[in-house]
Structure 1
Amino acid sequence: MADLKDELDTSPEVGELDDLPAPLPGEPSEPVTGPAEDSEAGLLDRAHALLDAHPVADGYSGLPWALRQRPSFDLELGEGTVDTDVPRMREGHVGALFWALHLPEEPTGEQAVGATLDQLDLVKTVVRAHPEGLRLACAAGPITDVRHFGRIAVLPGPASAAALGDSLGVLRSLRELGLRALTLSGVSWASEAGLTRFGEEVLREMNRVGVLADLSGASAETVRHACAVSKAPVLCARSAAHALRAHPANLPDDLLAALGAAKGLCMVPLTAEQTGPSVRDVADHLDHVREVAGPECVGLSGAYDAGTAHPRGLTDASGYPRLVAELLRRGWPETDIALLTWENVQRVLREADFTAREAQRRREPSTVKITELDG
């Protein structure tokens, strides 16, 4: 694995698109000069301009846990010991990102609640310590405001469903503290068989308070069940196309279609394990998800600082312009790229908040316990 990571972390020179196709027989060995905007440099210039207007809303960062292992750090000046810092996020045009509260070995019971609160406290501490670069924001409007002030918006989550135990009061408390997404896996009420009756109640309460359901790593039945039950859009924070790479967290076409029909969001991770070792491999997954689920249902998830190897040219948060340049080369309309990078996440957040306001008018906070529904 170390050899693979070393190979994948070898970045091309700045401005070079990876894996350019070899010339066909009879074609000149040097690229034919075309319009400036179609050249390699022209594509990168267009990518930067487009990302200036529509920055990346990154669906998953493992930075909180990575920082917990370090005695000191400075994300605003630059932090070479991690994949993500403010200078590289600015270079990559990252405007917002979800900071995961997951732990390498997820605890259970009361330990899970305490560990999640510790992670949430760390997120807030780190954001407060970097006021020139970061701001906490949990809704579409404030995220846009943060961007206009030249800062990067941080959204806490996803957290592990184990943090709830069997208490929906814990869910509401975590939401009050800023939690924005919860991963529905690793618990008895969201299993291979799908959601239990208590699982459905958890999802309804998540809708009521505006916590997004993250289905990455959930069973196929849980994904189908959640798409059918949830009144708010669901998301898969780290899922690519299973048809292109048979990773257990990647989604087969029938689930991608169900996610698209539910107006959910599949956030394709920039990891070699799930998408492949090159920028073009990642673009292949984005093409596939866009075709099957629709352009309004595809997003990006860097998955940086989560302990995984990344494709060449995408080894840290500065690499997004290279990926967008590849999509432009493939003929993606700028409107679809704007959806991919920024607008789809904004839509999901707005719809989740609208659903929560409507649900709170009709439904009181649930106090149901797992034993009352699942026995």
Structure 2
Amino acid sequence: MSLAVSLLLCAMCRSVSSAEDPYMSRALKLMSETPLIDGHNDLPWQLRQQFDNQLNKVDLNTLETTHTNIPKIKTGRLGAQFWSAYVPCESQHKDAVRQTLEQIDVVHRMCEKYPNALMFATSSQDIAEAFKRNKTASLIGVEGGHSIDSSLGTLRTFYHLGVRYLTLTHSCNTPWADNWLVDTGSEPSQHDGLSPFGKQVIAEMNRLGMLIDLSHVPIRVMHQVLDMSKAPAIFSHSSAYTVCPHKRNVPDEVLKRVKETEGIVMVNFYNDYVSCSHTATLADVADHFDHIRTVAGSDIIGFGGDYDGVERVPEGLEDVSKVPSLVAELLRRGWSDQEVSAALGNNLLRVLKRAEEVRDSLNKLSPDDVPIPSEEVKNPCRTDDGYPNGGAFPSLSITALLLTLALQYLISRGTS
């Protein structure tokens, strides 16, 4: 073969190899028009684990021990992120509220330290504004109802600090809600789903405009919330049970109810929930997207990567920067531009706007200040402050006696 022919073949190979993947080009175009909104990222927990939340000791521009840093965020075209304010179940009845406040604080400080990349956000309007400014809208989700210590006042305080969803349980029952392990048989049900106070929590979240997150709850709680919530519910990081029968995933019957109630399931990338094994691929994740679309349509689908909260992620989705490859794969599988845009962010924006509308419609209601019954939260680390008689309600006989004495007093006053 002549030198000229060899050079020509090499040039042709370089031309072919450098040609853009038309699906990737289309994916990047769609991501420039609609914000990719991810439902769950545990970078704040990694900052706690690796640096004890000392942001002065870490540079998110160069950090390489996490799935997430600012260059990866930019490459991944991440338009908005719900950062998880997660603390472990071991903190329940102890210092869960303090630890959660520290995780909320670290998200605020991330946004303050990197204002050119991140913008703190609390609303659908904020997400649109951040996208316009080419910044990642940074919202907060509290992962686990144990973080509110069975207190509606704490729930409201979290909302005022910017929290826009609460995952009702993590991997432990709270005094008012069962967790997903109940469905595995490894933990007993304590409340048959939600207790009466748990239903108060749901109603108060509706009044506030806080999204109800059903990842980590058993099927019974899923149905109870879908029955009673005035606003659509979300699954911030769960996948399809039919594709991978793990109890953290969502069964078809619930997918259909999410469609009826106009909620959203944001697909998780954790290998164990994707393929039910230690290994998985990008194509396996796309299978979950396809299945949910088949069962309930593209209008209930979103992205909920769970980056930095899991040990194993699929080949091809090794970190936040790889998400455009998944978007391209959906297009390759025949998803329309409209369907992809819905999954990228339009579905979550619709759900958040609806929660805001429900909040506005309930603005005449007073905050619920009826506490959880003291006997449901008694433990050595909790005082009885706020409960009359140390949390005990007077018996009927004592109540009758008090009423009799009061009546006698009024009669004596009237005859004196």
TM-score range, shorter chain: 0.7 to 0.9
1:70 aligns with 2:71: no
Which structure shows the higher helix fraction? 2
Which residue in the other structure is 2:36 paired with? 56
Cα distance per residue 1:195-216 (max 9 Å; x no partner): 1211111100001011111111
Which deviates more from structure 2 when the two are superposed, residues 190-199 or residues 112-121?
190-199
Query: Shift of the alpha carbon at 1:166?
Result: 2.5
d(CA) in 2 for partners of 1:302 and 1:40? Answer: 26
Query: Shift of the alpha carbon at 1:290?
Result: 1.6
d(CA) in 1 for partners of 2:347 and 2:73? Answer: 19
d(CA) in 2 for partners of 1:289 and 1:106? Answer: 34
1:309 aligns with 2:293: no
Cα distance per residue 1:247-301 (max 9 Å; x no partner): 1210111111112211111010112111131111111100111222221111001
CA contact (8 A) 1:299 1:340 kept: yes
Match of 1:103 among 65, 75, 87: 87
Which residue in the other structure is 2:412 paired with? none
CA contact (8 A) 2:150 2:176 kept: no
Structure ranking higher on relative contact order (CA contacts 8 Å, 6+ apart): 1
Which residue in the other structure is 2:235 paired with? 236
1:180 aligns with 2:164: yes
Cα distance per residue 1:101-120 (max 9 Å; x no partner): 11244411251111111111
d(CA) in 1 for partners of 2:96 and 2:375? Answer: 22
- Kindly report which structure 2 residues correspond to 1:104-183, keeping only aligned pairs within 5 A, or say none: 104-183=88-167
Cα distance per residue 1:152-209 (max 9 Å; x no partner): 1110113321122232111111100111111112313222412121111110000101
CA contact (8 A) 1:169 1:367 kept: yes
Q: Which amino acid aligns with 1:161?
A: G
Which residue in the other structure is 1:368 paired with? 370
CA contact (8 A) 2:301 2:343 kept: yes
| SS of equivalent residue, structure 2 residue 266 | strand
How many positions carry a matched residue from both structures?
336
d(CA) in 1 for partners of 2:62 and 2:38? Answer: 19
d(CA) in 2 for partners of 1:110 and 1:262? Answer: 36
d(CA) in 1 for partners of 2:150 and 2:134? Answer: 41
Q: Which amino acid aligns with 1:212?
A: L
CA radius of gyration, larger in: 2
Distance 1:166 1:69, change over 3 A: closer
- Kindly report which structure 2 residues correspond to 1:172-251, keeping only aligned pairs within 5 A, or say none: 172-185=156-169, 186-191=173-178, 192=189, 193-251=192-250
d(CA) in 2 for partners of 1:260 and 1:373? Answer: 38
Runs of 4+ in 1 over 3 A off after TM superposition: 372-375
1:332 aligns with 2:312: no
Which deviates more from structure 2 when the two are superposed, residues 105-114 or residues 329-338?
105-114
CA contact (8 A) 1:135 1:146 kept: yes
d(CA) in 2 for partners of 1:256 and 1:119? Answer: 31
Q: Which amino acid aligns with 2:366?
A: E
Which deviates more from structure 2 when the two are superposed, residues 99-108 or residues 169-178?
99-108
- Kindly report which structure 2 residues correspond to 1:29-48, keeping only aligned pairs within 5 A, or say none: 41-48=21-28
d(CA) in 2 for partners of 1:352 and 1:372? Answer: 31
TM-align CA RMSD: 1.8
CA contact (8 A) 1:238 1:249 kept: no
CA contact (8 A) 1:167 1:367 kept: no
d(CA) in 2 for partners of 1:367 and 1:57? Answer: 34
d(CA) in 2 for partners of 1:41 and 1:78? Answer: 29
CA contact (8 A) 1:198 1:373 kept: no
| SS of equivalent residue, structure 1 residue 69 | helix
The unaligned stretches of length 5 or more in structure 2 are: 1-15, 52-56, 179-188, 377-392, 394-416
